[in-house]
Amino acid sequence: MNMKKAVLIACLIAVLFLCGCATKENNMKLEKNKAIVFTNKVTDADLWILPMTEKNLKTTVWGTPSSSKVKTGESRRVSLCEPGSNGLYILRMIDTDSFFYSADSIKLEPDWKLTISGEDLQSVSVEVTDENGAFKKSYKVFAARL
């Protein structure tokens, strides 16, 4: 019985350490006064907007969400981190029903707007507009149940 407790405690410490590292890394890269407006037209979810780096593309541990518990129909100002390669970002979102949403190679600038919408999982997309509302680009979103 003591061996089971020791293994459980070791696993918990490892998980806490990994989550703490990811959170610290994401928070350190936030750019002061650089943010976008995110509008969620899909479903209640946690959102991550991360620099597009090889590391971020290959991990499933993203640290603290860029914005937590974003309600359907809600818009929020979300801080940007330093961009990844070519000034690009990735979007990761997990909704309250454990569905995962993902889009890569998103070009974003401070004060731009990013809106996620779609009637069903196959039609979800992200639309980016600039600070004046001018359309920039639409991105297809991969969506699936975890």
pLDDT tens digits for range 6-62: 444 443 344 333 333 333 344 435 555 799 999 999 999 999 999 999 999 999 999
Give, rounded to a whole angstrom, the gap between the first and last alpha carbons of the chain.
Answer: 33
Residue-wise burial string across 90-106, b where 16 or more C-beta atoms lie within 10 A, e elsewhere: bbbbbbeeebebbbbeb
The 10s digit of each residue's pLDDT in 14-28 is: 433 333 333 334 443
The 10s digit of each residue's pLDDT in 75-100 is: 999 999 888 878 899 999 999 999 99
Q: What is the pLDDT of residue 31?
A: 54
pTM for this predicted structure = 0.77
Q: What is the pLDDT of residue 84?
A: 81
Least confident of 56-60, 71-75, 104-108, 136-140: 56-60
- Work out the average pLDDT over 105-110: 96
Tell me: pLDDT of 5 over 90.
no
Q: Which residue has the higher pLDDT, 6 or 107?
A: 107
- Work out the average pLDDT over 2-6: 47
Provide the CB-side half-sphere exposure for 62 (13 A, CA): 25
Residue of 107, 112, 116 whose CA lies nearest to 73:
116
